[in-house]
Structure 1
Amino acid sequence: MGNLIKVLSRDIDNSGGNFFLDFENAQPSSTEKAVWEKVNRVLTEAQVVLDGLQGYTGAGEEIRQAIQSPNEEGVQEKAWSAVLPLVTKLKNFYEFSHKLEGSLRCLLDVLTSPDAPPTQQLEHKQALARQFALILHFTLRFDELKMTIPAIQNDFSYYRRTISRMRINNVWADADNEVNNELANRMSLFYASATPMLKTLSDGTSKFVSDNPNVPVENTTDCLSTMACVCKVMLETPEYRSRFTSDETVLFCLRVMVGVIILYDHVHPAGAFVKTSNIDMKGCIRLLQEQPASSVEGLLNALRYTTKHLNEDTTPKHIRNMLQSEQRF
């Protein structure tokens, strides 16, 4: 566990070797290969999903014209033709969230195994720890983008209204492209969340704990708190931070740190904000507030609005004040 101990104690590795949790270059060992390949297929699809979300333009103009001209069939058909492929895309995003949750649970199953303490699991399975981090990075990135695209909910709401009207009138409905009521309800709940992917992973992590009573909850919370601690130390220690090959790795680490804090807060009985927490929340929040506001406002909002215990009486007042304040440290 040498690398881990060095990072957590800020003891720089003078031999020039890689430090703990090499998010840029960790490669799977033979024992990690099977799980790594399974998760990698999902991560490859994740980039396609992210590209699709970034290119999402919506059908706002077509919908506006359709609402203004309710009796013009050509205008209605044009809006429907514009919305239908977008709904298919939204369906694909929703279905992918469950693939992502499955991959996260797969990694948790390995990284919280009782065969060794979580610290050793992370130390010896860095390629899988990196994949865990990549899932969180994608999740925070997806949710940050989703919050900037109000067209998503507008398009889906129009689709649901239109398909309901089409069923009643039995006109030009293509059943093969239809999202049924049950799926539409689930998709509506998914997109109604400010951070839908993060909520999916938080719920999935909580379910992982409840579905595995033979695995002490501490195995999961220790895994998450250790990752948060390592991210924080790597970011605030110049000798470690200088080893990053790009500025994007800094934001990557910040997203991972916030992601594991939120998961920890959902599965630890007392949450991440209590004085006895294994996560230095004051230090993590301060570190975020030291970054350019444009880079981290979404991450601060994720802590404000998607954690479970922030507003409970057990949260120290100064922690709540830090997140409520716009002051930059």
Structure 2
Amino acid sequence: MTNPAIQNDFSYYRRTLSCNRLNNPQLEAESEVNTEMANRMSLFYAEATPMLKTLSNATTKFVSENKTLPIEDTTDCLSTMACVCRVMLETPEYRSRFTNTETLLFCMRVMVGVIILYDHVHPVGAFAKTSKIDMKGCIKVLKEQPSNSTEGLLNALRYTTRHLHDDTTSKQIRALLQ
């Protein structure tokens, strides 16, 4: 999401490789990436957040294939992880333990990632009032951080969630993400 040039660069690589294969047919066997793998990589990078999309699809598939496991088990785990990350970021006594900015950024990324997964897996999503995730608190924690490290994360919440624009989402949460 923060580096859209990857798709363009990869397209350029594929065009160059295709031209080289026309000039030298034996190149297919010698190339680092065969045509099928290049096609799959291109579809992967076509997503705004390819890894998150893959995780979301895998989690949704897991929930749908394991009907004997209650969906609440999965969503409770995700909401707990989001809550733990939020508390680690907003509580001074916990936050003082993390002096490395990379650790704080990791906590923010995990929090946003599990919110998006929760939103994709839970029937009403993460933004509903009945959600077990404190969305106002999570968004406020993100907004309190330096904007250069959180703008991409806020954009991920804005553009990769399923239920942000549902009628069940409060206007306050929508306003926080504007």
In structure 1, distance between residues paired with 2:170 and 2:14: 44
> Structure 1 residue 301 and structure 2 residue 155: aligned?
yes
Q: What is the 5 A alignment of 1:247-266? A: 247-266=101-120
| Compared CA separation, residues 178 and 238, structure 1 to 2 (3 A) | closer
SS in 2 for 1:274: coil
Amino acid at match of 2:50: P
> Structure 1 residue 174 and structure 2 residue 1: aligned?
no
Give yes or no for contact 2:89–2:104 (8 Å, CA) kept in 1.
yes
Question: C-alpha displacement at 1:241, in angstroms?
Answer: 1.8
> Structure 1 residue 319 and structure 2 residue 173: aligned?
yes
> Structure 1 residue 286 and structure 2 residue 140: aligned?
yes
Question: C-alpha displacement at 1:160, in angstroms?
Answer: 2.7
Which residue pairs with 1:227 in the alignment?
81
In structure 1, distance between residues paired with 2:113 and 2:33: 31
Question: C-alpha displacement at 1:293, in angstroms?
Answer: 0.6
Question: C-alpha displacement at 1:306, in angstroms?
Answer: 1.2
Question: C-alpha displacement at 1:246, in angstroms?
Answer: 2.8
TM-score normalised per structure 1? 0.50
Q: What is the 5 A alignment of 1:68-147? A: 147=2
Give yes or no for contact 1:166–1:173 (8 Å, CA) kept in 2.
no
Which residue pairs with 1:148 in the alignment?
3
TM-score normalised per structure 2? 0.88
In structure 1, distance between residues paired with 2:91 and 2:19: 60
Question: C-alpha displacement at 1:154, in angstroms?
Answer: 2.5
Give yes or no for contact 1:300–1:323 (8 Å, CA) kept in 2.
yes
Which residue pairs with 1:96 in the alignment?
none
Give yes or no for contact 1:224–1:263 (8 Å, CA) kept in 2.
yes
| Compared CA separation, residues 249 and 166, structure 1 to 2 (3 A) | closer
Question: C-alpha displacement at 1:178, in angstroms?
Answer: 5.9
**Number of equivalences:** 177
Deviates more, 1:185-194 or 1:171-180: 171-180
Give yes or no for contact 2:90–2:141 (8 Å, CA) kept in 1.
yes
Give yes or no for contact 2:20–2:27 (8 Å, CA) kept in 1.
no
What CA RMSD, in Å, does the superposition of the two structures yield over aligned residues?
Answer: 2.0
In structure 1, distance between residues paired with 2:13 and 2:102: 37
Percent identity over paired residues: 72
Which residue pairs with 1:61 in the alignment?
none
SS in 1 for 2:177: helix
Cα deviation, 1:42-71, whole Å, max 9, x if unaligned, reads xxxxxxxxxxxxxxxxxxxxxxxxxxxxxx
Amino acid at match of 1:264: Y
Which residue pairs with 1:270 in the alignment?
124
Give yes or no for contact 2:28–2:34 (8 Å, CA) kept in 1.
no
> Structure 1 residue 197 and structure 2 residue 55: aligned?
no
Amino acid at match of 2:64: S
SS in 2 for 1:284: helix
Please list every run of 5 or more consecutive structure 1 residues that lacks an aligned counterpart in the other structure. 1-142, 325-329
Which residue pairs with 1:214 in the alignment?
68
Give yes or no for contact 2:119–2:125 (8 Å, CA) kept in 1.
yes
Amino acid at match of 1:220: T
Amino acid at match of 2:3: T
